[in-house]
């Protein structure tokens, strides 16, 4: 069935239209209106397929009515007709989107042909729309498989950026800027769930994670290991890496909070990649962030604990790549396992001890270069790769033990470097507070000044200082206030504002809470 609206202020024209349509078409419902405003109301309510619109009508003229109707019924076909043979009218009708322009009086055969022509066009449009819907349905069915293919390609570094480009083109995502996030289900309902158990439960949580993500942002996501989801999140017009980092942390926290009643989820976030060729690096960073446990945080951004990442891992063998990652995340068990696998791999190819030493030196150099690149520290080769010691080894067992010790020592060096860097962040934060205590300081401002997220700085501050950020800030301000009381004649009100408090009463309350006495009592004690 089709719906047809006739808008004309001449009743005789409307009646003639109705008779012609009724006598020649049994699949059309006709609606009529004698003014533009009523035509607009009917169109919004009934959504007609074809609209015959007289240009000259009281109230809202026909051309204006077409412009308004198109906003709510853009797919409608408009036929403008008028008693005036005016070229300007024809131009205006075309401009507002009319499909045909007729002059009164309209011959019956012309009217029938116009209606038939528009019905054919509508049928073609409906057919195309139906085919498009079927294609959309098919795409929705294969989309999870395409996404999984993209995810596995990115994980393995197998030209994933080409597949990603094809995917983004298919789904009309117009950006090459993206980052990776890994969600890992740690516990379900407060119970530890090893990988070999509760696959169905983990899969359900993983599906919920992907569903939540797709509700709030564009993403490509797949569960690539039981209970572990990798999401690639493209961004439009986002060049500020720090703001993206904060947004990504908030996104991860949103997902965790949505599922906190059914699962405990850990999240690792990689840095921003401006080219698809580099998206594999963002995945590696997300993985490292996921396995970073020094602060016991549930959400970790790679840039919070390693601001420099110039990985050249594409040139490494698979085992070397894995052991480099294991060392960097300080996984001793995995490192020992991979060290043994590398040693056995070399020995199985050639059991000659000289050859084995040479290949192990190459692997150690790869490890050292990887650690140096990721930590900006090059102490491993110079202090631990003792060529003379290795040269004196005469059996494979001793050589294997040396190689394992070398890899474990690399972990110890990474721990030292990480601790030094964390201490440096806290020192810079303290310096910022000491220099700006009299201003409106917030955790967010201090975190931005040292290029980490507020969440990370808060946890790091607590670990390094043994007190919260706010406690330390308050202590600095109170100490400065006491110093001013001892060395100046300023009033308590002046001192409160000079030390960053926004009111004297609040300053007095905090001072008494910290010192046990009021500011006035403290000043009096100085004169005794």
pLDDT digits (tens, 9 = 90+) for 196-224: 456 678 888 999 999 999 999 988 899 87
Q: Please, what is the average pLDDT of the chain?
A: 81
pLDDT digits (tens, 9 = 90+) for 369-404: 677 666 545 444 444 556 667 778 878 888 889 899
Q: Which residue segment(s) compose the domain that 148 sits in?
A: 141-305
Query: What confidence category does residue 325 fall into, taking pLDDT thresholds of 50, 70 and 90?
Result: confident
Average pLDDT over residues 511-522: 90
Structure tokens at 421: 């860097």
Angle at the Cα of 387 (from 382 to 391), degrees rounded to 5? Answer: 170
Angle at the Cα of 60 (from 55 to 61), degrees rounded to 5? Answer: 15
Identify the pLDDT of residue 309: 38
CB distance 78 to 97 below 8 Å: yes
Average pLDDT over residues 273-279: 77
Residue, of 53 and 366, whose pLDDT is higher: 53
Give how many domains the chain has, as a whole number: 3
Query: What confidence category does residue 313 fall into, taking pLDDT thresholds of 50, 70 and 90?
Result: very low
Within a domain: 343: no
Pick from 40-54, 86-100, 151-165, 406-420 the range whose average pLDDT is largest: 40-54
Distance CA 34, CA 46 (A): 16
Identify the pLDDT of residue 385: 58
CA nearest 32: which of 56, 52, 57?
52
Q: Is there a single domain that holds both residue 287 and residue 210? A: yes
Average pLDDT over residues 350-372: 75
Within a domain: 118: no
Average pLDDT over residues 321-344: 86
Identify the pLDDT of residue 327: 85
Identify the pLDDT of residue 306: 63
Q: Which helix (H) or strand (E) holds 222?
A: strand 220-225
Q: Is there a single domain that holds both residue 147 and residue 248? A: yes
Distance CA 527, CA 451 (A): 45
Domain stops at, among 305, 324, 353: 305
pLDDT digits (tens, 9 = 90+) for 437-447: 889 888 988 88
Within a domain: 516: yes
Instruction: Name the burial class of residue 334, with classes exposed (0-12), middle (13-18) and buried (19+) by CB atoms within 10 angstroms of its CB.
Output: middle
Whether the bond between 381 and the residue before it is cis, its omega within 30 degrees of 0, is no
pLDDT digits (tens, 9 = 90+) for 179-201: 999 999 888 876 654 444 566 78
Within a domain: 207: yes
Q: Is there a single domain that holds both residue 41 and residue 158? A: no
Q: Is there a single domain that holds both residue 188 and residue 284? A: yes
Identify the pLDDT of residue 98: 81
């Amino acid at each position: 069935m089709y719906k047809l609206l006739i808008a004309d202020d001449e009743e005789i024209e409307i009646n003639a239209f109705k008779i012609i349509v009724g006598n020649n078409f049994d699949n059309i419902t006709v609606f009529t209106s004698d003014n533009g405003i009523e035509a607009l109301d009917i169109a919004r309510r009934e959504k007609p397929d074809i609209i015959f619109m007289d240009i000259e009508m009281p109230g809202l003229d026909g051309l204006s009515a077409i412009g308004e109707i198109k906003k709510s019924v853009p797919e409608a076909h408009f036929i403008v007709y008028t008693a005036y043979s005016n070229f300007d009218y024809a131009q205006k009708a075309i401009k507002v989107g009319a499909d045909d322009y007729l002059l009164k009086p309209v011959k019956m055969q012309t009217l029938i042909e116009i209606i038939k022509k528009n019905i054919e066009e509508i049928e073609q449009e409906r057919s195309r729309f139906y085919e498009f819907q079927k294609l959309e349905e098919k795409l929705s069915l294969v989309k999870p498989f395409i996404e999984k293919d993209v995810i596995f390609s990115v994980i393995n570094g197998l030209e994933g950026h080409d597949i990603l480009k094809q995917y983004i083109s298919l789904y009309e995502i117009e950006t090459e800027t993206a980052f990776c996030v890994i969600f890992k289900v740690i516990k379900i309902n407060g119970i530890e769930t090893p990988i070999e158990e509760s696959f169905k439960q983990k899969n359900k949580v993983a599906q919920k994670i992907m569903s939540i993500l797709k509700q709030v942002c564009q993403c490509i996501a797949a569960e690539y290991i039981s209970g572990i989801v990798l999401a690639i999140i493209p961004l439009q017009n986002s060049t500020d890496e720090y703001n993206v980092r904060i947004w990504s942390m908030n996104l991860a926290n949103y997902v965790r909070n949505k599922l906190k009643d059914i699962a405990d989820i850990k999240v690792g976030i990689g840095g921003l990649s401006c080219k698809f060729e580099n998206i594999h690096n963002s995945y590696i960073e997300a993985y490292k962030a996921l396995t970073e446990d020094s602060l016991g945080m549930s959400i970790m951004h790679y840039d919070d604990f390693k601001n420099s990442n110039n990985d050249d891992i594409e040139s490494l063998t698979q085992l070397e790549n894995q052991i480099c990652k294991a060392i960097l995340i300080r996984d001793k068990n995995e490192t020992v396992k991979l060290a043994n696998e590398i040693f056995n791999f070399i020995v199985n190819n050639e059991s000659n001890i000289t050859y084995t030493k040479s290949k192990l030196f190459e692997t150690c150099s790869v490890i050292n270069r990887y650690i140096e690149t990721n930590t900006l520290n090059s102490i491993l080769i110079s202090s631990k790769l003792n060529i003379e010691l290795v040269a004196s080894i005469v059996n494979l067992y001793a050589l294997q033990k040396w190689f394992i010790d070398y890899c474990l020592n690399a972990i110890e060096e990474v721990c030292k470097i990480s601790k030094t860097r964390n201490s440096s962040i806290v020192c810079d934060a303290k310096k910022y507070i000491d220099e700006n205590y009299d201003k409106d300081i917030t955790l967010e401002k201090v975190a931005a000044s040292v290029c980490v997220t507020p969440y990370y700085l808060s946890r790091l501050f607590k670990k390094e200082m043994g007190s919260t950020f706010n406690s330390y800030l308050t202590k600095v301000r109170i100490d400065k206030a006491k110093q001013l009381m001892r060395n100046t004649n300023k009033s308590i009100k002046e001192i409160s504002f000079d030390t960053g408090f926004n009111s004297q009463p609040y300053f007095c309350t905090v001072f008494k809470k910290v010192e046990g006495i009021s500011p006035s009592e403290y000043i009096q004690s100085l004169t005794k």
